[in-house]
């Protein structure tokens, strides 16, 4: 198979997943041009990681919810409640900073179990349960904070979202450790891609030509190392980026390599078939909501650390950012389709668009209009793909 045929196949075989990567590159190039390169500056890339990490954390849990055919409208309120409980313990009562982190995670997990019970075992629609949760947990946040903001957190707590690893291995004007992490990331990606390719060949499945495979690895390596170089020349490796990377790898493995992950896809793809196949649907649904709550707790700790305090209105509209990231990243509105990597790219698309428009001085109202249109186009594209697939069959 020729390289030209491979490129055509790459872009048309699965347009839902490959199209978002093309769009992501185009959006970066557009805003880099419009901002005269400021978008890709070392300082701005670092700020991009710090400011939008919570969206990606929430999207990791939301993609599993959406794949299973559900939705969660409460995560913004859960982020606020988790941050509020942490602030009360650490700031008002003087508890150690790590107690506040654990409390935020515990609040998220308990909330997830509460909502998972109603969805999985009572049988209520997730839309209704989480809509009620959005109101309930927002009200609890106001009660916990007594309608006032609390700040500041201790410096150790602030390091969770605003800290950096810099100078660990030295470097003359740049952080060697950050570059080394970039090299390890590239090596890990190349190894996983090579292993996947060899596995496909062993089962006589179609793969791209070796030339195209190498070109793809080189491009990814160039992007990753350019990103690492910019971070190394700024403030070093953000601690929150390490947290995010561990979570992404963990959930990628869960959704692609485990029985639990396959069951999530089975439930969203065909619920009746999943039941007949022996999938414990109630148990799976319960745990995906517990997981969503736990990740909302993580996001709550990260966001409160970043903002150095807790506010009653924190987390407002966060759920819509997470949902938009999943749909823009290729998730289907009817369930059964979606990937962790797609959700991450979808979240980055939203982040780059927001950051680029802020750098250009675009009014907030215009930003909201553009983001809404992008989400609308993404869902319309999903519907178009389904109709095209139905017509082809």
Domain positions in the chain are 36-165+239-386, 167-234
H-run or E-run covering 316: none
For the chain, give percent helix, strand, coil, nearest 5: 80, 0, 20
What does each C-alpha distance from 108 to 98, 134, 138, 185 come to in angstroms?
16, 13, 13, 30
pTM over 0.85: yes
What residues does 164 pair with on adjacent strands? Answer: 238
Chain-centre distance for alpha carbon 96: 29
pLDDT per residue rounded down to tens, the chain (393 residues): 455 555 555 555 555 556 677 788 888 888 999 999 899 898 898 888 888 999 999 999 999 999 999 999 999 999 999 999 999 999 999 999 999 999 999 999 999 999 999 999 999 999 999 999 999 999 999 999 999 999 999 999 999 998 998 877 776 668 889 999 999 999 998 998 898 888 888 888 887 778 888 888 898 899 889 999 999 988 889 999 999 999 999 999 999 999 999 999 999 999 999 999 999 999 999 999 999 999 999 999 999 999 999 999 999 889 989 999 999 888 888 889 899 988 998 999 889 999 999 999 989 888 889 888 887 887 777 677 667 655 655
Alpha helices by DSSP H, listed for 152-270, are 155-162, 176-202, 210-232, 239-257, 259-269
- Distance, in Å, from the CA atom of 68 to the CA atom of 93, rounded to the nearest integer, reads 40
CATH 1.10.357 fits 36-165+239-386, yes or no: no
């Amino acid at each position: 198979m020729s390289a030209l045929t491979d490129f055509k196949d790459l872009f048309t075989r699965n347009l839902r997943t490959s199209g978002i990567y093309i769009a992501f590159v185009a959006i970066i190039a557009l805003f880099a041009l419009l901002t005269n390169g400021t978008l890709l500056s070392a300082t701005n890339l670092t700020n991009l990681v710090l400011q939008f990490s919570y969206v990606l954390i929430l999207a990791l849990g939301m993609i599993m919810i959406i794949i299973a055919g559900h939705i969660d409208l409460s995560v913004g309120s859960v982020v606020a409640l988790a941050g509020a409980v942490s602030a009360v313990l650490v700031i008002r009562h003087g508890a150690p900073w790590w107690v506040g982190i654990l409390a935020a995670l515990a609040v998220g997990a308990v909330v997830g179990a509460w909502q998972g019970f109603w969805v999985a075992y009572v049988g209520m629609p997730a839309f209704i349960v989480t809509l009620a949760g959005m109101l309930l947990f927002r009200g609890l946040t106001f009660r916990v904070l007594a309608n006032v903001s609390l700040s500041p957190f201790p410096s150790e707590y602030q390091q969770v979202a605003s800290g950096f690893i810099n100078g660990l291995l030295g470097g003359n004007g740049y952080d060697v450790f950050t570059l080394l992490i970039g090299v390890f990331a590239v090596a890990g990606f190349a190894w996983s891609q090579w292993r996947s390719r060899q596995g496909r060949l062993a089962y006589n499945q179609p793969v791209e030509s070796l030339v195209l495979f190498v070109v793809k690895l080189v491009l990814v390596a160039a992007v990753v190392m350019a990103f690492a170089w910019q971070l190394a020349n700024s403030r070093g490796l953000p601690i929150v980026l390490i947290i995010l990377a561990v979570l992404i790898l963990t959930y990628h493995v869960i959704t692609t390599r485990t029985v639990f992950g396959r069951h999530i896809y089975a439930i969203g793809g065909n619920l009746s078939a999943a039941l007949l196949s022996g999938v414990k649907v109630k148990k799976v649904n319960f745990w995906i909501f517990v997981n969503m709550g736990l990740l909302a707790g993580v996001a709550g700790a990260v966001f409160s650390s970043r903002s150095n305090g807790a506010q009653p209105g924190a987390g407002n509209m966060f759920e819509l950012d997470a949902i938009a990231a999943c749909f823009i990243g290729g998730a289907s509105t009817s369930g059964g389709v979606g990937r962790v990597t797609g959700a991450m790219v979808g979240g980055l698309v939203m982040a780059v668009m927001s950051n680029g428009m802020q750098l250009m001085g675009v009014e907030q109202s215009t930003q909201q209009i553009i983001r809404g249109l992008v989400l609308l186009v993404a869902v319309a594209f999903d519907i178009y793909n389904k109709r095209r697939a139905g017509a082809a069959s």
